[in-house]
Amino acid sequence: DTGVSQDPRHKITKRGQNVTFRCDPISEHNRLYWYRQTLGQGPEFLTYFQNEAQLEKSRLLSDRFSAERPKGSFSTLEIQRTEQGDSAMYLCASSPPYGSYGYTFGSGTRLTVV
């Protein structure tokens, strides 16, 4: 068990470019979550998968954002036409099917839009 892995750790992109982040959850965890954290704030929920089904999306997830979890394993989060306001830490978490005894978070991907 290597925990939740996120790639890349850091991404700098120019405004208007598309970016994609990847999250590999703990293998036996069927639930996967994306959060966004800006400086001085707590993480804000973006979206949630149970296996390959996307069950919940926040209002924060504008139409420029899309998330997938094609085989119920890893997930990707894509941001199209990035804006400076998208600069944040993007956190992925996973949890097991029962008990939900704590969500395990990855180290995050820090996005800077210049």
Comparing CB distances to another protein, the nearer of 22 and 31 is 31
Please report whether residue 33 would count as binding another protein according to CB under 8 A. Answer: yes
Please state, in angstroms and rounded to a whole number, the distance separating the CA atoms of residues 47 and 55. 8
72 forms part of the interface with another protein (CB under 8 A):
no
Q: Which is nearer to another protein, 85 or 98 (CB)?
A: 98
Stretch that binds another protein, among 15-23, 41-49, 67-75, 78-86 (CB under 8 A): 41-49
Question: Cβ distance 102 to 3 under 8 Å?
Answer: no
Residue 75 touching another protein (CB under 8 A): no
Does residue 22 touch another protein according to CB under 8 A?
no
Is residue 68 within 8 A of residue 12, CB to CB? The reply is no
Q: How far is the CB of 81 from another protein (least distance, A)?
A: 26
Pairing of strands 104-105, 88-95: antiparallel
CA distances from 105 to 26, 43, 113 (A): 10, 11, 23
Task: Report phi then psi at 86, rounded to 5.
Answer: -80, -10
Interface positions with another protein (CB under 8 A): 31, 33, 35, 40-45, 48, 50, 56, 58, 89, 91, 93, 95, 97-108, 110
